[in-house]
């Protein structure tokens, strides 16, 4: 099948991948392209910008958490029928898990998908050295098909022409354009990365401005031609028959909770769940006739005062969980289900109070990176012992843990000497800092839906 595609990869983090990626998507949209966006790695914030622009849910492609065939299948299923797929990389092109360039890196995804790579570099303060940098990336892994270069942070067109001449002459890789520094189009950040799309004021206008700049200084026609020249890839799809079990799962979705892998929600739907979104920030109470709850990550610490003030919602969530409703909470969701959150500023705010501990924000990352999760005890997402690959990224800690029962033993992927307990259990609720992609172990999604079905039918849940 024909699947035009390209990867936008950075030479390193902070080189401007997201600004350029969103600008290119917005510019292609103006040309009436139907775009399917993807993001390499365990990122939730960048995909929200992709989705805002294209109208299609951006999907994560992670070669550490997911098997090769799963990655290719998810890519093909979601890009089918689209005009072009735009894949934004993560960190630097060859940065993966630890020192392994073929484990979680943008380069690995590009090779698995046989996708041409457009390398983004920072041209500030360079001339011929830019060619040396590009040559290094070209030679480091000849299997990575670097087809073009975009140069960010050049002083102007004259500077770009110097860099372009050197790069094309000495590496044989063509330059497709450039951007000059422009603070007006910069996407601002805070403690976990970019400020999420739903919080950015005048985002549509800002993206239109970025698109206009991209149209003027990046060769979109050549970019599309490179994408259309990508070799076809095919795979025999796994058989996943959707079932109608009429299970209603309430999924928290608002400015405080919006870190979800879209494929997780899709898999739950295929397993018979109706996904019903609700807002712990703004709704008065839970949706009716729920059989389970799912709280993703996000920024509950930023909206702690508002979450606290919605006391009726908190009381209804606590009441539902105490009655045995299966509940799965990741990172920010875990924080919400503790007794309270102490913010960066030191203010304390009451939360739901299912888990007998408090959350406190800290000034540095507490856990960051890929992990292996051994599920040692039955819990709401696992009826028996299981293993799943996952990711952690948070600046908070749990304090005053009392009466805690843990389901997980966690090992850091890049340093197996680092092990710790996580996964708090209470009633039929599970809260943990790690983010799990259900396609890493589909049994977890099946067990969760199965336990929701038991709750609906009044059967015992051994979790």
> Which residues lie across from 151 on neighbouring strands?
121, 178
- Whole domain around residue 73: which residue ranges? 5-228
- For residue 170, which of 208, 129, 199, 213 has the smallest C-alpha distance? 129
Q: Checking DSSP bridges between strand 189-190 and strand 257-259, what pairing results, if any?
A: unpaired
- DSSP track, 144-202: S-EEEEEEES-SSHHHHHHHHHHHHHHH-PEEEEE----GGGPPPEETTEEPPGGG-TT
Contact 423, 375 (CB under 8 A): yes
Give per-residue pLDDT as tens, 370-410.
999 999 999 999 999 999 999 999 889 999 777 678 999 99
Structure pTM? 0.93
Burial of residue 384 (number of CB atoms within 10 Å: 0-12, 13-18, 19+): exposed
**CATH code where residue 157 lies:** 3.40.50.300
Cα–Cα distance for residue pair 83/72, rounded to 1 Å: 18
For the question of residue 331 being annotated catalytic, the response is yes
Q: What is the pLDDT of residue 462?
A: 64
- Residue 388 is assigned to a structural domain of this protein: yes
Cα–Cα distance for residue pair 239/449, rounded to 1 Å: 19
Active-site residue, from 97, 175, 331, 357: 331
Residue ranges of E strands in 229-331: 247-252, 257-259, 273-278, 292-295, 297-298, 327-330
The domain boundary, picked from 171, 201, 228, lies at: 228
217 and 297 share one domain: no
266 and 195 share one domain: no
Cα–Cα distance for residue pair 369/414, rounded to 1 Å: 8
3-class DSSP assignment, residue 4: coil
- Residue 214 is assigned to a structural domain of this protein: yes
Number of domains observed in the structure of the chain: 2
**CATH code where residue 418 lies:** 3.40.50.880
- Residue 84 is assigned to a structural domain of this protein: yes
Q: What is the largest CA-CA distance in the chain?
A: 72
207 and 257 share one domain: no
Q: What is the pLDDT of residue 240?
A: 66
Low-confidence ranges of the chain (pLDDT < 50): none
Rg (CA), the chain: 23
Q: What is the pLDDT of residue 249?
A: 98
Contact 349, 304 (CB under 8 A): yes
């Amino acid at each position: 099948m024909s699947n035009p595609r390209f990867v936008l990869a950075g030479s390193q983090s902070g080189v401007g991948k997201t600004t350029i990626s969103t600008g290119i998507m917005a510019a292609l949209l103006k040309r009436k392209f139907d775009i399917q966006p993807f993001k390499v790695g365990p990122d939730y914030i960048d995909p929200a910008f992709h989705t805002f622009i294209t109208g299609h849910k951006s999907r994560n492609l992670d070669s550490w958490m997911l098997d090769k065939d799963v990655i290719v299948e998810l890519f093909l299923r979601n890009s089918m029928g689209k005009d072009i797929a735009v894949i934004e990389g993560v960190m630097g092109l060859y940065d993966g898990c630890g020192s392994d360039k073929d484990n979680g890196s943008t380069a690995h995804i590009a090779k698995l998908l046989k996708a041409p790579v457009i390398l983004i570099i920072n041209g500030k303060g360079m001339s011929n050295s830019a060619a040396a940098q590009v040559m290094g990336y070209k030679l480091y892994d000849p299997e990575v098909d670097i087809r073009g270069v975009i140069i960010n942070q050049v002083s102007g067109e004259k500077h770009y022409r110097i860099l372009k001449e050197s790069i094309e002459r000495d590496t044989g890789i063509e330059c497709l354009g450039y951007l000059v520094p422009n603070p007006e189009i910069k996407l601002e950040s805070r403690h976990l990365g970019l400020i999420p799309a739903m919080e950015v004021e005048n985002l549509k206008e800002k993206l239109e401005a970025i698109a206009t700049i991209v149209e003027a200084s990046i060769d979109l026609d050549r970019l599309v031609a490179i994408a259309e020249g990508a070799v076809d890839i095919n795979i025999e799809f796994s058989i996943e028959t959707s079932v109608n079990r009429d299970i209603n799962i309430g999924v928290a979705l608002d400015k405080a909770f919006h870190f979800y892998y879209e494929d997780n929600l899709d898999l739950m739907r295929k397993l018979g769940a109706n996904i019903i979104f609700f807002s712990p920030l703004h709704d008065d109470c839970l949706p009716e006739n729920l059989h389970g709850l799912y709280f993703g990550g996000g920024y509950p610490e930023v909206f702690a005062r508002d979450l606290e003030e919605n006391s009726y919602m908190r009381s209804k969530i606590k009441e539902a969980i105490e009655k045995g409703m299966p509940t799965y909470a990741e990172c920010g969701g875990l924080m919400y289900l503790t007794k309270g959150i102490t913010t960066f500023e030191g203010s304390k705010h009451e939360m739901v109070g299912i888990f007998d501990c408090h959350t406190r924000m800290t000034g540095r990352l507490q856990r960051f990176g890929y992990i292996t999760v051994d599920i040692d005890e039955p819990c709401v997402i696992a009826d028996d012992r299981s293993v799943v690959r996952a990711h952690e990224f948070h600046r908070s800690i749990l304090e005053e843990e009392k009466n805690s029962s843990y389901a997980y033993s966690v090992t850091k992927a890049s340093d197996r000497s680092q092990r710790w307990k996580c996964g708090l259990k209470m009633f039929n609720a599970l809260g943990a800092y790690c983010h799990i992609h259900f396609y890493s172990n589909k049994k977890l999604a099946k067990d969760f839906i199965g336990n929701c079905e038991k709750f609906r039918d009044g059967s015992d849940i051994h979790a």
